[in-house]
A and B are shown apart, each in its own frame.
Chain A
Amino acid sequence: MSAEFARLVREHQSQVRAFLRRLTRGDAALADDLAQETFLEAHRKLAQYRGEGSFASWLCGIAWSRFLMERRKRKEEPLAEIDERAGADPRDASDARLDLERAMARLSAEERAALTLCYALGHSHGEAAAILSLPLGTVKSHVLRGREKLKAMLEHD
């Protein structure tokens, strides 16, 4: 086991887990399970990482595909239960932040992922498209539509 891999996990765990928490609408236990699977898959496929894009983007791509697999597996028992406490730890979140997380939980997974990648994680639309394995135009419309829905929900609340 390389010390390098241990360093990579320590360095990226927070971002991957936070990304997955948002995807799973704040289900921290499920997000952590998926994050573990993400890192284990990354470990198995390290040799396939060609340095196209950042390592963090590569990890987010694996995390997204793990999330989709989990969602397919739970088709009968969808991840769509909206938890009013979803997404943020109320101990250290502002009201605005909590409102955002609640509204975010009402978006589709694709919209949540696209908005999170493009805003909170600072990826370009092209990078987000590569991470989500979606056409660029689709990502742009997820961002646009998700943003409009969020604005409407936050104004309404």
Chain B
Amino acid sequence: MTDDDLDRLLSAPLDTVADNGFSSQVVARAEKGEWWRERIALFAPVAAAAAIAPFLPLRELTEAALRISPLLANSSAIAAAAAALALTLTLERRFNESAL
């Protein structure tokens, strides 16, 4: 066997594998996994919040929030930071979509 023969043999494309339902099986499993991830993402924070709520100093937190809310609302630095955050998230999502 010459080097060329071996190169030709090695460079031949891999055999095509017929789908035979493989793709739909993968998509079905992915959908199921996504369904569970969505439920967990939705309910885990709610469950965690419910678990720690009785131990939170709610009155003090409310008073503090009321005190700082007007300061935050009138702060141009906070507004700029929020705008930068929103812009970053939007750009990242667009980038991820275009990468596909």
Contact = CB atoms under 8 A, between A and B. Distances in A.
Contacts of B30: 1, 5, 39-40, 43
A116 B14 contact: yes
A14 B100 contact: no
Contact of A15 (B14, B23, B33, B34): B14
Interface in B16-45: 16-19, 22-23, 25-27, 29-31, 33-34
Contacts of A9: 22-23, 26-27
Nearest to A51: B99
A115 B10 CA distance: 8
Contact of B100 (A15, A49, A96, A100): A49
B99 A50 contact: yes
B11 A120 contact: yes
A50 B96 CA distance: 7
Contact of B10 (A10, A88, A93, A120): A120
A44 interface: yes
Interface residues of B, number: 28
B7 interface: yes
B61 to A, nearest CB: 33
B54 interface: no
A13 interface: yes
Interface of A: 1, 4-6, 8-10, 13-15, 17-19, 21-22, 32, 35-36, 39-40, 43-44, 46-47, 49-51, 55, 88-89, 92-93, 96-97, 100, 115-116, 119-122, 147, 150-151, 154-155
Nearest to B15: A18
Contacts of B12: 97, 120
Contacts of A17: 17, 22
A72 to B, nearest CB: 23
Contacts of B16: 14, 18
Most B C-beta atoms less than 10 A away, residue of A19, A35, A39, A49: A39
B1 A36 contact: no
A47 B19 contact: no
A88 to B, nearest CB: 7
A92 B7 CA distance: 20
Contacts of B70: none
A151 B1 contact: yes
Most-contacted residue by chain B among A44, A93, A120 (CB, 10 A)? A120
A5 B27 contact: yes
A144 B66 CA distance: 71
